[in-house]
Structure 1
């Protein structure tokens, strides 16, 4: 049976990416799992929920006068937990039987995106203060 199961990202990977990057990153990984498992409708539902949770996170983090990154991690933990402990078991009830994809590709993509954002923030701040 294991031979015809697609490789998927584990729920720990989805949770980790959600906490340390955003629920959107974790949602994209779960979206990819669902696409690979030929569950297109479910994939779009998960992607939509991930986008919504990310928008809510941005709103929550920016409510205080001084945004707190700890709120972003808490929202990531909440969103990642929803993805990992609700959606993964719902759509992959036998998740442990699936071969796992390595995390290197999404990790490299995430690092590139983070470097671009940090560079833009630093560059933007230097122009503002220049």
Structure 2
């Protein structure tokens, strides 16, 4: 039996990118999944929720006097769990029937974005001390 369903990013990919990049990144993957199945309203809802969760994460991480990186991972885990274990089953109740997209493209984009941020932080530090 041939499967005519579009390929989507897996629940694990959404959770992993949410933890290690940000909930926004995981939300974008879920947004792309929803757009591929023509659920535009739901896609925009997920995108809005992931932006809100990312803003909340930024606020929480920056509350302490000395922000801790582990808080960012915990916030990513919380946001990613909401995306993966609430929204994915809600909009893709038969998720296991979909073929999964490879994560290489988002992974390369994530590495490039991270490299740009690291370079900007190094540059800002050298300007500050120079």
**Is the TM value for this pair above 0.5?**
yes
Q: How many equivalent pairs are there?
A: 130
Deviations 1:66-122 (A, max 9, x none): 111100000000000000000000000000000000000000000000000000000
Query: Shift of the alpha carbon at 1:2?
Result: 5.2
Within 1, Cα distance between the matches of 2:129 and 2:36?
A: 47
Q: Does 2:96 correspond to 1:96?
A: yes
Name the structure 2 match of 1:63.
63
TM-score (norm 1): 0.98
Gaps of 5+ in 2: none
TM-score, scaled relative to structure 2: 0.98
Aligned to 1:49: 49
Structure 1 moving runs of 4+ over 3 Å: none
Separation (CA, whole Å) in 2 of partners of 1:27 and 1:2: 29
Deviation at 1:4, TM superposition (A): 1.8
Aligned partners of 1:2 and 1:98 also within 8 Å? no
**How far apart are the structure 1 equivalents of 2:99 and 2:65?**
45
